[in-house]
Amino acid sequence: MKYQELKKILRKAAKEKRVVDAFVTFTPGSFLKAYTQLERTYLFTSNNKAFASPSCSGYSIFGDCMDGQDSGVRLERYMADEKGGKDGWKIENCGIIKYQLLSAHEREMSVVGYYDTLKDANHAMWLKMADAVHCTSEELYAFINENEPAGECGFGKMSAWANNAGPENSNVDWKIAPIYMDGSDAVIFEEA
């Protein structure tokens, strides 16, 4: 996907008050030393001022490096396609991120849904877990605190699980899988 196309998608989302997660991978030649694909990829959202209010003061794009080492970077200052100039970081690839919530009851896998943000997918996972352990979403925090130390359940940012849950009182697992899309294709990132 071309950056101008991504920018258009993010501006439209911001105008509609929706949050869309995005990624940008910079070319290896943009840097003086060698970096892996993960070290050259940054994550950001349509909530940035460059997309939400591009004509107002404070034009900015804050992003976090995919490898977790660099967060809150003012990307627009470095990007050749923004304010970085001819010597700025050049874009190798960019696109949007969707989040797929998967569920496994014993060995049967199913797709619960697709979400625009990790926060939305995590919230959906929270609600599914609450339903599976037969409590309300408000009661789930207490349930986890009581049962996690005994090894009966767990909840994290990208996954959750519970024993003796669901309609059959079986083992249930949930996993959030990010899908990086650069237009019509999914992008596979090399492992760190």
pLDDT of residue 191: 56
Task: Identify the CA nearest to 43 among candidates 66, 67, 70.
Answer: 66
Long-range Cβ contact pairs of 113-122 (< 8 A, separation 24 or more): 114/179, 116/18, 116/19, 116/20, 116/21, 117/19, 117/20, 117/21, 117/45, 118/21, 118/157, 118/176, 118/178, 119/19, 121/176, 122/157, 122/176
Residue carrying structure tokens 């001819």: 86
Describe the crossing of helices 118-132 and 137-147 by its angle, rounded to 10 degrees.
70
Q: Where are the domains of the chain?
A: 3-97+181-187, 99-176
**Cα 113 to chain centroid, rounded:** 14
- Per-residue pLDDT in tens (0 to 9) along the chain, 192 residues: 999 999 999 999 999 999 999 999 999 999 999 999 999 999 999 999 999 876 666 789 999 999 989 999 999 999 999 998 999 999 999 999 999 999 998 788 999 999 999 999 999 999 999 999 999 989 998 999 998 888 889 999 999 999 988 777 888 999 999 999 988 777 777 654
pLDDT of residue 189: 72
Q: Is the pTM of this model over 0.85?
A: no
Residue carrying structure tokens 């599914």: 128
